[in-house]
Amino acid sequence: MRIILLGTGTPNPSLKRMSSGYLVETEQDILLFDHGPGAFHRLMESGIDPVRITYLFFSHLHYDHCLDYARLVLTRWEQGAGKIPELKVYGPSYVETMTTGLFGEGGVFDPDLTARTQLEPSIQTYISRGGTPPRKRPMPQVEAIQDGYVVEEKKWRVEVIEVPHGQPHLESFGFRLDTPEGSFAYSGDAGYSEAFVRLIQGCDVLVHMCHYISGTEPGPEWIKGSAGHMEAARIAHEGKARNLVISHIPDQMDLPGVRERLISEMSQIFKGNIFWGEDLIEIPVTDPQPLKHTG
Ligand SMILES: [Zn+2]
């Protein structure tokens, strides 16, 4: 099991931190959780071929969590040449509308998809990649999820829970993935909820969003729908996580010295391992180990 952070930033444009995206490679499949702007670029930098991605989970549809969806789908389709299965996508019900709006007849990419499936040079390219005409359009297999939804495959299982963030305009979810090799939980964007704490009990890795230094939030409504560093620490503590990964990191706290102070404050509450998320780092499901001293 490999867990790679593809995007640890916010909607703010940043070359250091792309927007939200996380990759989990299991024995059976490669799963993505969210795919915000820049996450696809990091996916390529990770060395993992996009055609190998089989499942995508959306926590919610703020654009910093889904803007690279089209790029993933179209690249898989183009490079996969009809030889790979359609991407399986789980997310809020509006993902169905988004998907047909992007890839369906009359959708955003209709002229391109019509050209690539009808014009002879494009069909020849398709054949050169191993495809067999007629060429079909991409159409991800989308399933709408709700609170309590479970996706069960042979060697992994994902449980979904609704989390407080952006309601009533958004449906927002957190996830727990269990595999024989370890467990992974992801908050999506969310404030504290007892239900999420119950879901993540004893997980190996918890990726939790962090959107401000606790105590500096502009108003009380912020705490309901997103977490500061101390809320993330409390959730990891009550959820008995082994490793806490802080992600969705705003500029406010992403400074040398400030970062270390915040980790120190979090460690007063949460006694497990704390990772300050960085794009492209890999998170172990066991305890991190220092390298042998070589002088
Ligand atoms: Zn959000």
Low-confidence ranges of the chain (pLDDT < 50): none
pLDDT in tens, 135-149: 999 999 999 999 999
Ligand 1 center to 189 CA (angstroms): 5
Q: Which pLDDT score is estimated for 102? A: 98
Ligand 1 center to 277 CA (angstroms): 17
- Residue 177 bridge partners (DSSP): 158, 184
Ligand 1 center to 62 CA (angstroms): 5
Contact 163, 170 (CB under 8 A): no
Ligand 1 center to 97 CA (angstroms): 19
Q: Which pLDDT score is estimated for 44? A: 98
Ligand 1 center to 221 CA (angstroms): 14
Q: Which of 248, 243, 211 is nearest to 230 (CA)?
A: 211
Ligand 1 center to 121 CA (angstroms): 42
Q: Which of 195, 234, 188 is nearest to 214 (CA)?
A: 234
Q: Which pLDDT score is estimated for 159? A: 98
Q: Which of 222, 144, 216, 215 is nearest to 190 (CA)?
A: 222
Ligand 1 center to 9 CA (angstroms): 12
Q: Which pLDDT score is estimated for 295? A: 83
Ligand 1 center to 168 CA (angstroms): 13
Q: The pTM is what?
A: 0.96
Q: Which pLDDT score is estimated for 221? A: 85
Contact 243, 204 (CB under 8 A): yes
What distances in angstroms separate CA 292 from CA 75, 173, 289, 295, one per listed residue?
41, 40, 9, 9
Q: Which pLDDT score is estimated for 2? A: 97
- What amino acid occupies position 209? M
- What amino acid occupies position 130? G
Q: Which of 53, 54, 77 is nearest to 135 (CA)?
A: 77
Ligand 1 center to 292 CA (angstroms): 40
Residue located via tokens 């047909």: 100
Domains of the chain, start order: 2-283 (3.60.15.10)
Q: Which pLDDT score is estimated for 15? A: 96
Q: Which pLDDT score is estimated for 56? A: 98
Ligand 1 center to 119 CA (angstroms): 40
Q: Which pLDDT score is estimated for 218? A: 87
Instruction: Report the C-alpha gap between 279 and 39 in whole angstroms.
Output: 9
Residue located via tokens 């066991």: 286
Ligand 1 center to 230 CA (angstroms): 19
Ligand 1 center to 12 CA (angstroms): 12
- Residue 275 bridge partners (DSSP): 245
Ligand 1 center to 60 CA (angstroms): 7
Ligand 1 center to 166 CA (angstroms): 7
Ligand 1 center to 216 CA (angstroms): 18
For the CA atoms of the chain, what is the radius of gyration? Answer: 20
